[in-house]
């Protein structure tokens, strides 16, 4: 969808991250992580490897420089692929800067610091502003930016549909079944009447697909990396296949061939604006059925403002991000209408390791900073439960499990099917109804 579809607002909510100094530093660090992608990827991806290569005995590196090895040629090719990935990273940087920073800075000040030769170069203007703000990204944010670029393969490429279908397909089937059941008692029910919440919306593909299926959907995300990236693809891409990425290029292990390592994929596989503008799935236009909120899921959706708002909640590869899964269950219970369904699919790779002391809690949370008085996912304490224990908790806290399938299908997560190393999840799938 385009900018007009969100009526001038990229995300719902009245939180201003720039009003909090710590939150502002974090936001600027995230922006800088995308801006720095090109420089750091070249340094860590090829410069360091060239240094290591030339540290080999001369007769060895000379041999490896020639066919059939041509290691130096491969490093040159890797440089080209880094540049291609960087086009996407810098587009995210520009979109994020325009959304968060540009409206808050004085245009006369910007004009005073930007040389005339860059007056029409959007990237250079924003980059100069960042330099004057003395922004420096953190290692954690740099790692997340790199991961975010690779995630586009899973969420927005044709090849990634293999993983997407295994994970979102059952969710869409459950939503379709719920609509069919409700239609039997209400012949006038439209798909848009079913309001769906998607916590941990990531790059927005699940939100887009659920909207394209005709339902009204709100995505929620706490990570600025994911918010900026999803905003780019949903609001600011001009066409399908606008970018080309090499998601596996920077990892040099477990490849059968350089061709496997250097695979490229075009994204997005579909232009969201065009697809939603022509979508006949509902009587309500798509741009009125899709939105995104930013903030802590626990804080936002446990509030009275969201009490009994949604007909369905869909969590895909999400609940294991909770330090305390009870907080997630309580938030779902609060925002879900009586009789509404909670559709869940995913593994239980608990993201939070137990804290040995209260001082450890000062470390940055995996999903970024929180900004509410209720610390939400930043609350102290954590617990790691089995699937049986999670299901027992869900039932104990007001739900009836209507369907569950263990290991519904095997799937990777941003996995290279040609790699010699395969990490496979066997996720569980269940549907619970609020009593």
* Residue carrying structure tokens 């959304």: 99
DSSP state of 24: H
3 state DSSP class of 132: helix
Give the whole-angstrom CA distance, residue 94 versus residue 329.
Answer: 36
pTM given for the model = 0.90
pLDDT of res. 287 = 87
pLDDT of res. 374 = 66
Element (H, E) at 431: strand 428-434
pLDDT of res. 398 = 97
Give the whole-angstrom CA distance, residue 414 versus residue 421.
Answer: 12
Residues 6+ apart with CB under 8 A from 370: 222, 296, 299, 376, 377, 378
Please give the angle made by the CA atoms of 107, 110 and 112, to the nearest 5 degrees. 115
Smallest Cα–Cα separation from 318: which of 327, 309, 310, 306? Answer: 327
Confirm if 241 and 268 have CB atoms less than 8 A apart.
Answer: yes
pLDDT of res. 409 = 86
pLDDT of res. 353 = 63
Confirm if 223 and 144 have CB atoms less than 8 A apart.
Answer: yes
Per-residue model confidence as pLDDT tens for the chain (435 residues): 433 343 334 555 555 677 788 999 999 999 999 999 999 999 999 999 999 999 999 999 999 999 999 999 999 999 999 999 999 999 999 999 999 999 999 999 999 999 999 999 999 999 999 999 999 899 999 999 999 999 999 999 999 999 999 999 999 999 999 999 999 999 999 999 999 999 999 999 999 999 999 999 999 999 999 999 999 999 999 999 999 999 999 999 999 999 999 999 999 999 999 998 886 778 899 989 999 999 999 999 999 999 999 999 999 999 999 999 999 999 999 999 999 999 999 999 998 766 554 444 334 444 444 444 567 777 888 999 999 999 999 999 999 999 999 877 899 999 999 999 999 999 999 999 999
* Residue carrying structure tokens 């918010």: 227
Give the whole-angstrom CA distance, residue 71 versus residue 322.
Answer: 43
pLDDT of res. 277 = 87
Give the whole-angstrom CA distance, residue 298 versus residue 306.
Answer: 11
Confirm if 284 and 213 have CB atoms less than 8 A apart.
Answer: no
Confirm if 295 and 112 have CB atoms less than 8 A apart.
Answer: no
Give the whole-angstrom CA distance, residue 41 versus residue 323.
Answer: 32
């Amino acid at each position: 969808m385009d900018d007009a579809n969100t009526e001038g607002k990229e995300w719902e909510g009245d939180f201003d991250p720039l009003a909090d100094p710590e939150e502002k530093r974090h936001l600027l660090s995230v922006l800088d992580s995308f801006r720095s992608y090109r420089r750091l990827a070249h340094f860590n991806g090829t410069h360091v490897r060239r240094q290591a290569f030339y540290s080999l005995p001369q007769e060895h590196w000379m041999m490896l420089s020639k066919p059939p090895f041509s290691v130096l040629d491969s490093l040159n090719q890797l440089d080209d692929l880094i540049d291609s990935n960087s086009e996407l990273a810098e587009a995210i940087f520009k979109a994020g800067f325009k959304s968060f920073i540009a409206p808050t800075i004085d245009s006369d000040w910007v004009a005073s610091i930007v040389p005339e030769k860059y007056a029409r170069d959007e990237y250079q203007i924003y980059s100069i502003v960042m330099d004057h703000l003395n922004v420096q990204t953190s290692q954690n944010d740099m790692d997340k930016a790199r991961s975010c670029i690779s995630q586009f393969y899973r969420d927005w490429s044709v090849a990634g549909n293999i993983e997407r279908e295994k994970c979102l397909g059952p969710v869409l089937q459950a939503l379709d079944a719920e609509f069919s059941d409700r239609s039997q008692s209400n012949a006038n029910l439209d798909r848009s009447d079913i309001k769906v919440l998607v916590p941990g919306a990531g790059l927005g593909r699940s939100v887009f697909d659920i909207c394209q299926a005709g339902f009204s959907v709100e995505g929620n995300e706490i990570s600025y990396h994911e918010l900026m990236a999803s905003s780019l693809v949903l609001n600011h891409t001009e066409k399908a296949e606008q970018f080309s990425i090499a998601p596996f290029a920077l990892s040099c292990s477990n490849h059968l061939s350089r061709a496997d390592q250097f695979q490229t994929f075009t994204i997005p596989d579909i232009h969201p604006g065009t697809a939603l503008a022509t979508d006949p799935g509902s009587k309500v236009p798509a741009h009125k059925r899709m939105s995104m909120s930013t903030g802590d899921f626990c804080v936002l959706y446990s509030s009275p403002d969201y009490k009994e708002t949604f007909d369905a909640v869909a969590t895909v590869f999400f609940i294991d991000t909770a330090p305390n899964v009870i907080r997630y269950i309580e938030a779902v219970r609060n925002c879900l209408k009586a009789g509404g369904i909670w559709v869940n699919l995913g593994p239980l790779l608990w993201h939070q390791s137990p804290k040995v002391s209260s001082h450890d809690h000062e470390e940055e949370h995996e999903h970024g900073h929180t900004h509410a008085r209720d610390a939400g996912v930043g609350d102290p304490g954590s617990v790691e439960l089995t699937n049986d224990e999670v299901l027992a908790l869900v039932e104990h806290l007001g739900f009836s499990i209507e369907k569950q399938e263990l290991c519904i299908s095997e799937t990777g997560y941003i996995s290279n099917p040609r790699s010699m190393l395969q990490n496979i999840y066997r996720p569980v799938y269940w549907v619970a109804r609020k009593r």
